[in-house]
């Protein structure tokens, strides 16, 4: 059973807060491409392109990778940013949490917004290492380091398969009860898996075309802010309440490829106070590659919620 997980550090850090945090306590991580980082970045940031993080899901390799850019012990406070509405940064921040690093937050704005607000930038390499220096290979012996992956925030394809099977059994049980009762008020909504909700955050038309069975849809843009990477807590909670996703539910989020859009949605849920959230990091790309079942609604209206 997944344990409710409460954050010790805020999901979002405001620019003013970042400026007031001692640089010796923080590793500020820029996850854009190296050439973009060299062209300009937030002062004292290190460069760690998302592509390097996506190379492996092995906790030890990820630990070595983050250690190579300065997140070398549990006392380091990692703050992550990008220039792609927060989705790339979210996936990297989630990877840090996955390897057990609890001191991690997202910058509440993108780099582009940082520049437009007139905050200082620096060019060149700065604290950043060259791409060839960022490695999962480490000559230092890490056998004595405790790397405890947090599997409570990860969903795998077989974990989702088990949920689908559980929903099928639950539906069969409810249908049996309905058939043997005079009541007609019982109903089953998409995602109703005895407290487990599969949440597809891709664009609506992609979801209608095909999705993991029993998943419901809230496109990631519904969580995104205008000048910030995420909407306010009240706005997110209002949306989730409208879609009848309870705080007691375990929510498994996925998107189409590598877990970036779903990573941002993961943090939207965490920002809203949801404590039981998992990311299917390999997402629909893996699901389809394994020829696992999908379903769709070819003739559904764009916002026809009956399609769920």
Listed in sequence order, the DSSP H helices in 184-249 are 204-209, 233-242
Q: Would you say residue 131 has pLDDT above 80?
A: no
- Domain assignment present for residue 6? The answer is no
**202 and 248 inside one domain:** yes
What pLDDT was estimated at residue 130?
A: 54
How sure is the predictor about 72, in pLDDT bands with cuts at 50, 70 and 90?
Answer: confident
pLDDT band at 137 (very low <50, low <70, confident <90, very high): low
> Which tens digit of pLDDT belongs to each residue from 85-99?
999 999 999 999 999
Distance, CA of 187 to CA of 183 (rounded, Å): 11
> DSSP 3-state assignment of 271?
helix
CATH number of the domain that residue 88 is part of: 3.40.250.10
State the pLDDT at residue 187: 34
pLDDT tens for each residue of 238-276 = 999 999 999 999 999 999 999 999 999 999 999 999 999
Average pLDDT of the chain, as a whole number: 88
Nearest to 145, CA basis, from 87, 101, 91: 101
199 lies in the same domain as 261: yes
Given this model, what pLDDT does residue 74 score? 86
The answer as to whether 7 is a domain residue is no
How many distinct structural domains can be found in the chain? 2
Q: Which pLDDT band holds residue 18 (cuts at 50, 70, 90)?
A: very high
* Whether residues 172 and 215 fall in one domain: yes
**Does 170 share its domain with 139?**
no
pLDDT at 202 (0 to 100): 98
Is residue 65 domain-resident?
yes
Residue 199 domain-assigned? Answer: yes
Strand-pair partners of 246 = none
Judge if 288 and 171 occupy the same domain: yes
Whether residues 126 and 203 share a domain: the answer is no
161, 295: one domain: yes
Same domain (yes/no): 127, 194: no
Examine the domain organization and report whether 135 and 162 are in the same domain. Answer: no
Are both 39 and 159 inside the same structural domain? Answer: no
Q: Taking residues 156-183, what's their average pLDDT?
A: 76
Secondary structure letter of residue 222 according to DSSP: G
pLDDT digits (tens, 9 = 90+) for 188-240: 345 444 689 999 999 999 999 999 999 999 999 999 999 999 999 999 999 99
Domain boundary among 123, 150, 177: 150
Tens of pLDDT, residue by residue over 159-169, are 999 999 988 88
| Residues in Cβ contact with 229 at an 8 Å cutoff, skipping those fewer than 6 apart | 12, 85, 86, 89, 90, 106, 107, 108, 109, 110, 264
Last residue of a domain, one of 88, 123, 150: 150
Same domain? For 145 and 175 the reply is no
Tokens of 87: 């989705």
Would you place residue 184 in the very low, low, confident or very high pLDDT band (cuts 50, 70, 90)? very low
pLDDT of residue 176: 56
**Same domain for 175 and 75:** no
SS3 153: helix
Q: Which of 101, 119, 150 is the last residue of a domain?
A: 150
Domain that holds residue 277: 154-307
pTM assigned to the model:
0.89
pLDDT of residue 304: 77
Whether the predicted pLDDT of 278 surpasses 80: yes
Amino acid 298: pLDDT: 81
Q: What percent of the chain has pLDDT over 70?
A: 84
Lowest mean pLDDT among 50-59, 74-83, 177-186, 256-265: 177-186
pLDDT for res 142: 55
User: In terms of residues, how long is the chain?
Assistant: 308
């Amino acid at each position: 059973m997944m344990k409710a997980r409460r954050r010790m550090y805020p999901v979002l850090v405001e620019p003013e807060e970042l400026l007031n945090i001692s640089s010796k306590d923080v590793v500020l991580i820029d996850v854009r491409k190296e050439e973009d980082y060299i062209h300009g970045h937030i002062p004292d940031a290190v460069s760690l392109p998302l592509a390097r993080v996506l190379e492996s899901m092995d906790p030890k390799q990820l630990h070595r990778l983050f250690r190579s850019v300065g997140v070398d012990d549990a006392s380091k406070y990692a703050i992550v940013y990008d220039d792609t509405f927060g989705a790339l940064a979210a996936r990297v921040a989630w990877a840090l949490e996955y390897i057990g690093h609890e001191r991690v937050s997202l910058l509440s704005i993108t780099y582009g917004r940082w520049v437009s607000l007139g905050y200082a930038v620096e060019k060149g390499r700065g604290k950043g290492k060259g791409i060839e220096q960022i490695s999962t290979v480490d000559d230092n012996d890490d056998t004595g380091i405790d790397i405890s992956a947090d599997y409570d925030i990860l969903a795998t394809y077989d974990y989702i398969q088990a949920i689908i099977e559980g929903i099928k059994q639950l539906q069969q049980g409810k249908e049996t009860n309905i058939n043997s009762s005079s009541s007609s008020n019982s109903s089953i909504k998409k995602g109703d898996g005895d407290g487990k909700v599969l949440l597809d955050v891709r664009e609506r038309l992609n979801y209608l075309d095909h999705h993991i069975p029993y998943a419901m849809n809230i496109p990631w843009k519904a969580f995104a802010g205008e000048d910030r990477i995420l909407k306010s807590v009240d706005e997110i909670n209002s949306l989730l309440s409208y879609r009848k996703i309870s705080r007691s539910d375990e929510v498994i989020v996925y998107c189409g490829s590598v877990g970036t859009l779903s990573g941002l949605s993961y943090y939207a849920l965490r920002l809203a106070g949801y404590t039981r959230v998992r990311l299917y990091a390999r997402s629909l790309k893996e699901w389809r590659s394994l020829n696992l079942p999908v379903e769709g609604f070819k003739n559904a209206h764009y916002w026809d919620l009956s399609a769920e």
